[in-house]
Structure 1
Amino acid sequence: MPVLGALPTLVESFGRQAASTPDRIALVAGDERLTYAALDEAVDRLAARLAAAGARPGTLVGICAAKSAACVTAMLAVLRTGAAYLPLDPAHPAARVELVLADSRADLLLTEGEPVTTAVPVLRLDGEHPPAAPLPAAPPDPSSPAYVIYTSGSTGTPKGVVVPHRALANLLAGMRELVGSTAEDVWLSAASLTFDMSVPELYLPLVTGGRLVLVDPRTALLGKRLAALIEREGVTHMQATPSGWRVLLYAGFRGPRLTALVGGEALPAALAGDLRSRVGRLVNMYGPTEAAVWATSWEVPIEPGTVSIGDPLPGATVHVVDDGLDEVGQGELAIGGVCVADGYLGRPALTADRFVPDPYGEPGSRLYLTGDVVRRTGAGLEYLRRADTQVKLRGYRVELGEVEAAMDGLPGVRQSVAAVSGDALVAFVVGDCPDLRRRLAAILPAYMVPTRVIPLDSVPLTPNGKIDRRALEEKI
């Protein structure tokens, strides 16, 4: 594992960059273009307001706003106060946003427009506000939380992953070293802010003097418009899931100067070959939210053959282990090092179950058990499958148990099973709930609403009394 040594936090790195290149364009969002100086000043002003409202080290600030320059300003401002931020998508159902806010016990909510809840003190991003006393310069403790990202939960309740500043700093330094990012580079940010893939694409350009170009996640689904934006802004680096890259390829996209990063889902070999032939460089990234976004990478060759997830980034270690944490050729992938998150917010038992003492590391270090089955090859690690019921759909982590719990709570549903067929989420339902999809859309994000509902008289079982998922797959 390459060691990067002591690293400045994102707050320190951005502050130094803004002081070094104040007149360079830092951020582009539609017609809005902000220099480093303008962005830094906006961050300072909002950080002062946040501090006056109670944001400080040890607090959590929810941010519920559309992807915009103001939203990026808000995230940086929260970090400058020493607090951690929690991104919330205003496009998600209000019930989902309220659930996450309640579970996180957020201390403050930054929002545009009317707040989704009155249970948390609210600070509006829009409108005019009186100035507040500026904050003294005080970089955050590297061990303190930087952000909390909520992922799907197997019990029906989403869970918050707490990522500290040291893990975030390690991610940015490691990607800068392996992927490359300079003051001449332009990064496109197409991911939703509630998807942790957004983290490196937002911050890496801002700590290397480059330019960040924001695009709404919905626009990212329009291949020709996205391709035109990439050409117009001179984008040099872009991340997307395999599903996202397909949208561009179907539109005839070619980017010979583009460094393309792909992750969030398993990369099919055919797509790897097609995409590699159309871009200047292709890197397959792998990592869970619990390991600060990306933990391994693999430079895809011109003729990729078998697809690998590669080797660990600087600051990360990887082990292929059995149930006793002994190294094996094929088994569960365990990740250690500086990249490992603190754990799950307010869930000590679950944290202890998935974040275990690292028998290969320094005393006190931990491994995160990913639940992903991999094997070692000459090209690095090869991803095989999930070991549990968690799947990825269009880059989003979905725990099938959470979808099933939501369906089982609806009137008329006696039993339900969620399954995946290709890129589609399928629901098997015993009972009578004709408006099931509409009801689910009111409580779940769109990517967790089944696209197909198959009625059943009963759920098939194996001789051991378990759900016979193979029999269900035959009904799709």
Structure 2
Amino acid sequence: MGSLPQLSILKGPTRPLVVSQLGRIFEKVAAGPAASNIALIFEENGQSRQLSYSQVDQITNKFARVISETIKTKNLKPNSDGDHIIAVNMHPSDHLILVLLSIWKSGCAYLPLDHSFPASRIDHIIQESKPVIVIYDEGKATPKPAYFPDSVISDSKNFPAKLSYEELLTASDGRSDKRLEDKERVYQKDDLAIVLYTSGSTGIPKGVRIPHKIILNRLQWQFKTFPFSETEKVCVFKTALTFVDSVCEIWGPLISGISILIVPKSVTLDPEKLIQKLDDYKIERLVLVPSLLRSILMCLELKKNRTLLKNLKLWVCSGETLTTSLAEEFFRYFPENEYKLCNFYGSTEIMGDVTFYIISGMQQLKNLLTVPIGAPVDNTIVYLLDPELRPVKTGDIGELFVSGLNLASGYVNNRDKEKFLENQLAIDPIFSKLYRTGDFARLQNDVLLYEGRTDSQVKIRGHRVDLSEVEKAVSGVEGVEKAVVLCYQPGEMNQALLAFVKSSALMNENQIENILRSKLTSYMVPQVILVESIPLLVNGKIDRQALLKSYENTNNNDDSSVEIEIDYSGVKPAQMAAAKVLFDTVASVLNRSARSAISLDSNFYEIGGNSLNSIYTITRLNEEGYQISIGDFLSAIDLGEVLERMTSSNDIHCSPPTYTSELLKNEHKSAVLDIITTSFYQKADLEQWLMPDIFESDYKELMDALWEPLVEKALSFVAKAESGKIIGVGLNFDARDEPDVQITSKLTVIFEFLETVEGPVRDKCLPGGKGKILHSFMMGTHSSLSPKENVAVMQFMEDEVLKLATERHFEGIFTTNTSPLTQQLGTDVYHYQTLLDYQVNRYVASDNTRPFGMAPDSQRAIVQWKPIKSDIVVDV
């Protein structure tokens, strides 16, 4: 009784670990038999790039020299922890991996940022971690990187050096591609490899310092427990770089001589595209959060194709609670004993994964309420301790502590030291520190069972979110008197992040949520519920269960129409039956989480939808006899477009409408002016932020100034319906022969902005001389068109622009898209190459004002190029 084996202490196998920097390990791999192997594969917009291990090694050696020399030449100092950190804000691509490896080779550590982070979060990260350089991928065309807040820029002492990927590439030209000697590298304290920022328990994000040795310990265990098979040639990197799972996705294959496929974010967000990509490359292992697993299983069920993903034998779930019901659903699709489903547990501070449990079939799930989190990885001990830090007895619940080689080196600026304690229970120096996870667990049959949190942290789409951080942001909204943030049904499909708000301001839920989008990362924005009062317990504390119960009771109300307004305005009589099925299905799926009325104009995601419940919605529609592909549903602008795309066996299929084009003539001027005015004055994405200083008469002034050269150049056209009615207009110029017009209205702000984002790209990246670049300048459609007709006319006009450019022997088409529809068409349908993705609210005009400062971070201006000849490719 009371002996050690009966206490809740689990020790993983002890194995020797040879410590080295991962950049050095990669160099050895690249110099060996794997030199000619493909290391990086990246596909986007119909283009594919591949680099061998030898090529990656040579390129990154050059980049590392530039980074190291920049730091030494400018005498850039380490931060207060003694670390030389380089922040990286780049979209997933082969360029990103090259930069990360170069940073390690230079002797520095990398700190991932994300384009979706709000300015306040970036501000805090840069101010606290003090990176010496920020490397970004928006190129020289960006006047100022969108993620540098004013407060950082104005403080020259804290402002890191900026280096775009294009500048790094240019500076590396002519440099030696030999590996850097130790004396050429920047000194790196404590073997630091990565800094990852997580949600902080005080409401402020904190940076976790991850050394090379803990990454190596985690990877060494992985190679032993889940070795690469003889047929495994390609692995996949799809996880956000700010998420700790990305570390093993990238570096596990790359120090093993295996290729990695870098998946663009657009593919990761679309389960249908992701499945196809995984199947095409015969991917054999995948790390994902349970919510994505559920989306994939739903998608596979919709496709009715049992051969899809047959090569994907190892599925690893982490980041969220894996329910037994989801595990059972997995084995209803994938044969038992042929496929493995694993449940990993951990956090950023313990290298993401510190315990694991492998499921081979249904038998293991019998009599289990939850899937175990398993046993420790190598060189690791897990303790379940009571409040006095004494081990609890087997079967009792205790707080989970971790010790060993999987522990981070604390936090940036030595914050929250109480999370890393001296281990009084161990003698071996490698177990001298304890990390306090904040989780409860119990030991049963030699495996750990997760029992919840000790604090307010939850997992949202795999990201750790501290409810206090969200609550602090909500409480900071002007007019909010009291806010309580809770998570409903964590880990389940109907999980919801909720903010119960008592407010004196005349704002509705949507307005508060819009304010929060400028303060919080997207996955942290809660559903706001306005309440008249916050219920209290007899002891004066907030009655959280009462709030959740009120949400649940409202959510489970069978009379959905009482809670959710459904508006059938504008639905055609022939489509009313389908509309009722669609709207009722959406109302049923979203239920209480619906943010506004359901109508033709509603965007599924803006009213509360997400990728998971969108697939559930499609499944329900299929059951009702209406077919729509996942891609069509995800890309639909609104429910009106979803309705148009839905078809059933009873539908009468009609021939698509026929449109014709005609070069611009003087007789078209009145109709063109009407379309341009309604398209841009009433609906444009930029003009809305300049109201009320923009007038309809401003467009007449603009058209009067442009009309004669537009007609004379004969590059513009109108689109006509079969009736002869003008329903669209495309205005184009030769990019090297555009007229210099003078206008006096506020529209000059728009054109100054467009020239700011387009000019550097056009002048430095595109072919020179007249007759080379067709500039698709303005495109508009008639206001009477339905959503479906609008898309059809836009597609027709895009085809006409391509035809015109081809006939006139232009080398390519250049355009800037500011609306989500044209951005989607340009990228997904017409495969334009994106040269610049610019966040419009960061634009500073010539008078030092921010004319679009009220725009959300998600509003972008995308500068794009489509080559006409296959050999004309712009390197960005």
Q: TM tier, shorter chain? A: over 0.9
Cα deviation digits, residues 94-142 of structure 1 (max 9, x gap)? 3322222122121211112242224221111125513346662339879
Matches within 5 A, 1:162-177: 162-177=209-224
Q: Distance in 1 between matches of 2:403 and 2:215?
A: 14
Contact 2:487-2:496 within 8 A present in 1 as well: yes
How far apart are residue 200 of structure 1 and its match?
0.5
Contact 2:108-2:188 within 8 A present in 1 as well: no
Q: Pick from 160, 165, 169: which aligns with 1:125?
A: 165
Q: Pick from 116, 127, 144: which aligns with 1:91?
A: 116
Q: Distance in 2 between matches of 1:282 and 1:143?
A: 36
Where 1:188 maps in the other structure, the secondary structure is strand
Q: Distance in 1 between matches of 2:230 and 2:69?
A: 34
Where 2:166 maps in the other structure, the secondary structure is coil
Contact 1:142-1:165 within 8 A present in 2 as well: no
Where 1:255 maps in the other structure, the secondary structure is coil
Q: Pick from 337, 344, 356: which aligns with 2:421?
A: 356
Where 2:105 maps in the other structure, the secondary structure is helix
Matches within 5 A, 1:172-191: 172-181=219-228, 184-185=231-232, 186-191=234-239
Contact 1:4-1:173 within 8 A present in 2 as well: no
Is 1:312 matched up with 2:384?
no
How far apart are residue 347 of structure 1 and its match?
3.7
What is the TM-score of this pair, normalised by structure 2? 0.52
Letter in 2 for 1:430: K
Q: Distance in 2 between matches of 1:88 and 1:461?
A: 40
Higher relative contact order (CA 8 A, sep 6+): 1
Change (3 A) 1:109 1:141: closer
Where 1:22 maps in the other structure, the secondary structure is helix
Q: Distance in 2 between matches of 1:400 and 1:96?
A: 16
Change (3 A) 1:377 1:390: same
Q: Distance in 2 between matches of 1:181 and 1:355?
A: 34
Where 1:447 maps in the other structure, the secondary structure is helix
Contact 1:183-1:209 within 8 A present in 2 as well: no
- Residue 238 of structure 1 aligns with which residue? 286
Cα deviation digits, residues 199-228 of structure 1 (max 9, x gap)? 101110001111211113442231211111
- Residue 274 of structure 2 aligns with which residue? 226
Cα deviation digits, residues 307-353 of structure 1 (max 9, x gap)? 111111112211111112211132111111011011111144x12x1
Q: Distance in 2 between matches of 1:6 and 1:270?
A: 38
Is 1:297 matched up with 2:356?
yes
- Residue 180 of structure 2 aligns with which residue? 136
Cα deviation digits, residues 359-399 of structure 1 (max 9, x gap)? 23324711111111111111511112111100001101000
- Residue 29 of structure 1 aligns with which residue? 42
Contact 1:187-1:211 within 8 A present in 2 as well: yes
Matches within 5 A, 1:339-350: 339-348=406-415, 350=416
Contact 2:21-2:191 within 8 A present in 1 as well: no
How far apart are residue 189 of structure 1 and its match?
1.7
- Residue 288 of structure 1 aligns with which residue? 347
How far apart are residue 154 of structure 1 and its match?
2.3
Contact 2:207-2:411 within 8 A present in 1 as well: yes
Change (3 A) 1:415 1:378: same
After superposing the two structures, state which structure 1 stretch, 80-89 or 211-220, moved more: 211-220
Change (3 A) 1:182 1:70: farther
Is 1:460 matched up with 2:460?
no
Q: Pick from 418, 442, 459: which aligns with 1:392?
A: 459
Where 2:311 maps in the other structure, the secondary structure is strand
Where 1:475 maps in the other structure, the secondary structure is helix
Letter in 1 for 2:523: Y
Q: Distance in 2 between matches of 1:275 and 1:142?
A: 45
Where 1:324 maps in the other structure, the secondary structure is coil
After superposing the two structures, state which structure 1 stretch, 124-133 or 26-35, moved more: 124-133
Q: Distance in 2 between matches of 1:430 and 1:85?
A: 42
Cα deviation digits, residues 390-442 of structure 1 (max 9, x gap)? 00011010000000111111111111111112321111111134311111111
Q: Distance in 2 between matches of 1:182 and 1:103?
A: 43
Q: Distance in 1 between matches of 2:114 and 2:170?
A: 24
- Greater fraction of residues in helix: 2
Where 1:129 maps in the other structure, the secondary structure is helix
Change (3 A) 1:219 1:173: same
Where 2:200 maps in the other structure, the secondary structure is coil
How far apart are residue 463 of structure 1 and its match?
2.2
- Residue 66 of structure 1 aligns with which residue? 91
Is 1:443 matched up with 2:519?
yes
Where 2:35 maps in the other structure, the secondary structure is coil
Where 1:336 maps in the other structure, the secondary structure is strand
Where 1:472 maps in the other structure, the secondary structure is helix
Letter in 1 for 2:521: P
- Structure ID, larger Rg: 2
Root mean square deviation of aligned Cα: 2.0
Contact 2:84-2:188 within 8 A present in 1 as well: no
Q: Pick from 55, 58, 65: which aligns with 1:41?
A: 58
Contact 1:96-1:444 within 8 A present in 2 as well: yes
User: Which consecutive unaligned segments of at least 5 residues does structure 2 have?
Assistant: 1-11, 73-77, 154-158, 302-307, 490-494, 552-876
Contact 1:223-1:250 within 8 A present in 2 as well: no
Letter in 1 for 2:54: A
Cα deviation digits, residues 234-293 of structure 1 (max 9, x gap)? 111110000111111111175333211110001000111222454522221111100011
- Residue 255 of structure 1 aligns with which residue? 309
- Residue 9 of structure 1 aligns with which residue? 21
Cα deviation digits, residues 445-464 of structure 1 (max 9, x gap)? 100001x2111222222222
Change (3 A) 1:276 1:82: farther
Letter in 1 for 2:424: P
Q: Distance in 1 between matches of 2:119 and 2:333?
A: 41
Where 1:169 maps in the other structure, the secondary structure is helix
Letter in 2 for 1:268: T
After superposing the two structures, state which structure 1 stretch, 60-69 or 271-280, moved more: 271-280
Cα deviation digits, residues 40-71 of structure 1 (max 9, x gap)? 12211211111011178830110011111111
Is 1:215 matched up with 2:263?
yes
- Residue 429 of structure 1 aligns with which residue? 501
Matches within 5 A, 1:313-332: 313-328=377-392, 329-332=396-399
- Residue 329 of structure 2 aligns with which residue? 274
Contact 1:238-1:260 within 8 A present in 2 as well: yes
Contact 2:287-2:315 within 8 A present in 1 as well: yes
User: Which consecutive unaligned segments of at least 5 residues does structure 1 have?
Assistant: none
Q: Distance in 1 between matches of 2:63 and 2:541?
A: 54
| Percent identity between the two aligned chains | 30
